[in-house]
Amino acid sequence: MKKLLAALLATAAILASCAVNANPEPTPTAEPLPTANTPPEATPSEEPWESQAPNDETSEVLRFEVVVAEHLPAFTIEIENVGEPNGREAETFMVFQYEARICSPREFEPIAQSFTFNTYMELDEDKVNFVDIDYDGYLDIEIEHGRGLVNRTLLFHRYNIEYNLFENTPFFALLANGYSLHPDTKQIVASTRSNAHQYERTAYQLTNTRHGTYEEIGREWTDYDYDTELYTMHIVHRGTKVYMREMTNDEYRAPAPERENYLRFGVANKPESTD
């Protein structure tokens, strides 16, 4: 009984500490968190957390204050290296395990959440970003999972607006050295490079804003002839080759809205309606 009472008192103290960061004003437009039937991909922690010091002197806690949406108070997000994971992958590669701790204040009480994830590199503030990757009006977590010489692997943990929590498992993984968002058509265009003369771009279409996923709809790549110093560009849209042209270096480097349209829509001119 004494141990149970001590545990309850400790939990109450942690919730009080988490509430220090909460917006004191009520947030009537924020959706209430269901108390039952919460899906496993977006679950609150059994034991809420308090902002804490690193586990050891070499560990650093990355701390962010994030306004996910204008009508919500700021989230406090901490990410800490908690050691190396077990398993075959960790035996083969250098793998780092991180824990994300999220305190999301609400009108009556703060909700605490935590989940762990692995990366192939040590994280710093530049490798964690917040972007509305699914165009629902709420920021999601972008984590750099690994990096080669020029390309990066990005994982996106979506903010689940039904449960007011971030999903524990990544919603989308993207290999790119850069990407552009297209909210008007709910698309992403990602670029990758293999060398100075060869690159590839991939267009993805969001199938459904609230519960959907991204599907690949277009791919653009180039072949380079070192003898003629000419590029040959290929574009495939939804399984059909819609563009192929030989071009000089200047033509290859010049802006080309036509090629962008072939990649994203399969035609030379952007359709008036893309619904």
What was the pLDDT predicted at 41?
A: 60
Residue 201 inside a domain? The answer is: yes
Phi-psi region of 137 (alpha: psi -120 to 50; beta: other; left: phi over 0): left
222-254 burial, b at 16+ Cβ within 10 Å, e below that, comes to bebeeeeeebebebbbeeeebbeeebeeeebee
Residue 204 inside a domain? The answer is: yes
In the DSSP assignment, the letter for residue 186 is T
Give me 268's structure tokens.
């030379």
Give me 45's structure tokens.
């922690």
What is the signed CA dihedral for 11, 12, 18, 21, rounded to 10 degrees? Answer: 180
Q: What tens digit of pLDDT does each residue of 187-213 get?
A: 999 999 988 778 899 999 999 766 678
Q: What tens digit of pLDDT does each residue of 114-128 get?
A: 999 999 989 999 999
How many Cα atoms occupy the beta-carbon half-sphere of 187 within 13 Å? Answer: 20
CA distance 145 to 209: 24
Residue 182 inside a domain? The answer is: yes
Who wins on pLDDT, 176 or 28? Answer: 176
CA angle centred on 231, ends 228 and 233, rounded to 5°: 150
What was the pLDDT predicted at 23?
A: 36
Residue 224 inside a domain? The answer is: yes
Give me 32's structure tokens.
């209430």
Residue 120 inside a domain? The answer is: no
Domain of residue 240 covers: 178-275
- Please report the sign of the dihedral spanned by the C-alpha atoms of residue 144, residue 146, residue 150, residue 156: negative
What is the signed CA dihedral for 62, 66, 68, 70, rounded to 10 degrees? Answer: 180
State yes or no: pLDDT of 234 exceeds 90: yes
Structure pTM? 0.78
State yes or no: pLDDT of 255 exceeds 80: yes
Closest listed residue to residue 14, CA positions, set 87, 88, 114, 153: 114
Who wins on pLDDT, 248 or 19? Answer: 248
Number of domains, the chain: 1
Q: What tens digit of pLDDT does each residue of 153-171 get?
A: 999 999 988 888 899 999 9
Mean pLDDT within 40-66: 63
Q: What tens digit of pLDDT does each residue of 13-34 get?
A: 333 444 444 333 332 233 333 3
Q: What tens digit of pLDDT does each residue of 71-114 get?
A: 888 899 999 999 876 655 555 568 899 999 998 766 546 678 89
Percentage of the chain beyond pLDDT 90 is: 57
Residue 234 inside a domain? The answer is: yes
200 and 220 in contact (C-beta within 8 Å)? yes
CA distance 82 to 95: 11
Residue 145 inside a domain? The answer is: no
State yes or no: pLDDT of 275 exceeds 60: no
Q: Which residues, including other chains, have CB under 8 Å from residue 96's CB and lie 6 or more apart?
A: 81, 84, 118, 119, 120, 121, 122, 123
State yes or no: pLDDT of 7 exceeds 60: no
Q: What tens digit of pLDDT does each residue of 133-143 get?
A: 999 999 999 99
Residue 227 inside a domain? The answer is: yes
Q: What is the mean pLDDT of the chain?
A: 79
216 and 203 in contact (C-beta within 8 Å)? yes
